Structure 1
Amino acid sequence: MKKWTWLMLLLACAFVFAGCADKKDDSAGEVDEETAADPAEDGVEDDVTDEGNVPPVTVHLKDRDGKSVGTAELSEEEEGLRIMVDAKDLPEGTHGFHFHEKGVCEAPDFESAGGHFNPTDASHGFDHKEGPHAGDMPNLEVGADGTVKKEFTVKNLTLENDEENSLFQDGGTALVIHAEADDGKTQPSGDSGDRIACGVVE
């Protein structure tokens, strides 16, 4: 009789331990699911890319002979549109620098780019009381070696689609370097002379 009593006690204990083990496994599974459901718990959220960010754009500048003379890097920043120009093989001196209203750069005169990008019908020039055009940029100073590197930020342009001042308009826009300095007030283009380099914003 004692033998059967001990056997019954051993079987009862075995069932109790088995039940505890199953419960522990189930609890562990629940914790894993909750952690997976919340990516912030394991840092996944930090790796998610903000889909609202606008990718940077590289404008390839070419001269009248179709030769590459450099680039302009455009990037959307919190402060505005950042423009980084890195160009070479240009005439020494001060040169007008503008965004134009059409994304077409047909050599040799680049007149295909149209007038300055001006969605608000403003007057030309930073020194004009009713200016500037959205496409008016500071002059470029080219050194004796024919190179120029310049970085600046403007607030009247954007790469965001569907904005009035977006450089991605129907038909596109272009970036043009002129032969002479922009005087900041003469209409419609600052008396900046011929167009000597051009690049399409795309």
Structure 2
Amino acid sequence: MKKWIISIGVAIFILITGCADTKDNTEEAAINSTDSSVKALSILDEETEKIDVTMYNQDKEEVGTAVIRPVYTGVKITLEASDLPGGEHGFHIHENGICEAPDFESAGSHFNPTDSKHGFEHPEGPHAGDLPNINVDKDGNVFKDALAKMVTLEKGQENSLLKEGGTALVIHSGADDYKSQPSGDAGERIACGVISE
């Protein structure tokens, strides 16, 4: 009986040690991978926190929230909003953390620290701030997870969303065609939220 208990203990120890090695190897591979010329990977630690962004429409009314969390391949943006026009809309990160209604031009251009062209379909793109379009249902609601691989929440980095002055999330009136310059022919800016600490 005693030998049986010792055998089980040794097996559990080996299993735990093997899992820990696999996790370490996976994290090391993620950290050492290079997908772009800009540092795109955020190192996760206990001090890293999510960023909550409140989205406002052109009438300065709150229409939703976005939660930005660091992941090993950039940041994950979870958007939940309502009272928007139905259909497909461009969704981008802009370079200035200023959302002055009604046109939100204060948010500036797309966040583009690498001076790339706009669009996932452009051979010299995309901008770091380019995101997939969102689809708003007929009742004006949207829930969307988007992965931004070329940005980070790590302060001091060229591609940090938490640069001095912050950045902004913007929803446009039309769909981004992923190739037209400089912003995908996505129409006017209908909602905006500041990304800052």
Q: TM-score range by the shorter chain?
A: 0.7 to 0.9
Aligned residues: 153
The TM-score normalised by the length of structure 1 is 0.73
- Rg larger in structure: 1
**Aligned pair partner of 2:187 in 172, 176, 193:** 193
Q: What is the correspondence of 1:148-159 to structure 2 with a 5 Å cutoff?
A: 148-159=142-153
Structure 1 vs Structure 2: percent identity of aligned residues? 56
8 Å CA contact 2:131–2:147 kept in 1: the answer is no
Is residue 2:117 matched to residue 1:123? yes
Give the C-alpha shift of residue 150 in structure 1.
Answer: 0.8
Q: CA RMSD in A?
A: 1.2
Q: Which runs of 5+ in 1 are unaligned?
A: 1-49
Give the C-alpha shift of residue 58 in structure 1.
Answer: 0.6
Q: What is the correspondence of 1:51-66 to structure 2 with a 5 Å cutoff?
A: 53-66=47-60
Q: Which amino acid aligns with 1:143?
A: D
Is the helix fraction higher in 1 or 2?
1
Is residue 2:153 matched to residue 1:162? no
Is residue 2:93 matched to residue 1:99? yes
Give the C-alpha shift of residue 170 in structure 1.
Answer: 1.7
The TM-score normalised by the length of structure 2 is 0.75
Give the C-alpha shift of residue 171 in structure 1.
Answer: 1.7
Q: Which runs of 5+ in 2 are unaligned?
A: 1-43
Q: 4+ residue stretches of structure 1 with deviation over 4 A?
A: none
Give the C-alpha shift of residue 191 in structure 1.
Answer: 0.2
- Residue by residue over 1:64-109, the C-alpha shift from the partner in whole angstroms, topping out at 9 and shown as x without a partner, is 1110010110001223311101000000000000010101000000
- Separation in structure 2 between the aligned mates of residue 113 and residue 171 of structure 1, nearest angstrom: 11
